[in-house]
Structure 1
């Protein structure tokens, strides 16, 4: 009887190990469409009330995504030691497919690890801070940087100090990204210094 118990227990342990491996190898869950009820993890405000790109992180331990009012905030979550580490997927607004800066879209998500980002541009994120502006198309990112300043980096090249610095000083009111946003979108509508 004892050996049957140990055989059953070791079988259960082996099966659990296989299931853990299967979960690790499973494709990431798809992005969730942004709704009016989504609340930003750091600002505690409705995400749709902010201009610029958004972020969502899907955790293994939560049914609903963790929402962010800026793509930069999503990066912060991945870098801060106190935040959850059971990340299944990270999605950011694809600004190459955004209707406008003020209305970046609710379903145009790109895998954050596949996106190209424009950093140190004139564009300001949802809380008026420096933003990491994501694009699925590297050429669109280059055009945005040429028109709005900044440089293009990949997910793995994102400078930690750029993400975690306290740079939230609003620029001068007339310092907007210029018209000619990629794919003909209205980057001139980019709001700077937009605080809540």
Structure 2
């Protein structure tokens, strides 16, 4: 039998740990609403013109996030070996709150780590590539799978190959720049510009 004096320090320790965890979450920068000025980091196109869920990544020291036309592109950016900026937050569109595929909402953001992702569905993202479709509610993800196929995974269970492998993109007779295979000179120039800001 555990005596009361031992239980009290354990209880206090759990409360402190929970408080620290809440404090860490509170220090994350809040998500930013998409506007007409928001452009995809890789494609440099107006993000609101693309259908499907989006992502935004906050880098330490920068006042504004990087936006991504597809969730897959945001996760690819975070996992690319050459990515050396400290990420303070990653948010993805919450498809549980989206009106529809073409109108996901400008402020429907959830932390990337809390989402239930549908992978390998029949739906493609805004750049025409396979998409990771995030939901805050697992039941909504299941319903999406029943209509569009795929499987539900948490972020930690999504293999790097699903986001880092290059895939062809829908385009009128040409292939657009992909998150996993950007033009080296242009990509490095943009990274250097971010570093100096």
TM-score (norm 2): 0.72
Q: Which portions of structure 1, spanning 4 or more consecutive aligned residues, are displaced by more than 3 angstroms? A: none
User: Which residue is 1:9 aligned to?
Assistant: none
Q: How much does 1:138 deviate? A: 1.0
Partners of 2:127 and 2:169 within 8 A in 1: no
Map 1:25-174 to 2 at 5 A.
25=24, 27-168=27-168
Q: How much does 1:124 deviate? A: 0.4
Partners of 2:116 and 2:138 within 8 A in 1: yes
CA RMSD between the two structures: 1.9
Of 91-100 and 75-84, the range deviating more from structure 2: 75-84
* Aligned-partner Cα distance in 2 for 1:29–1:93: 16
* Aligned-partner Cα distance in 2 for 1:40–1:147: 28
Of 131-140 and 161-170, the range deviating more from structure 2: 161-170
Partners of 1:130 and 1:168 within 8 A in 2: no
> 1:59/1:73 Cα in 2 relative to 1: closer, same or farther (>3 Å)?
same
**What are structure 1's unaligned runs of at least 5 residues?**
1-23, 171-194
More helix by share: 2
* Aligned-partner Cα distance in 2 for 1:130–1:46: 20
* Aligned-partner Cα distance in 1 for 2:157–2:102: 27
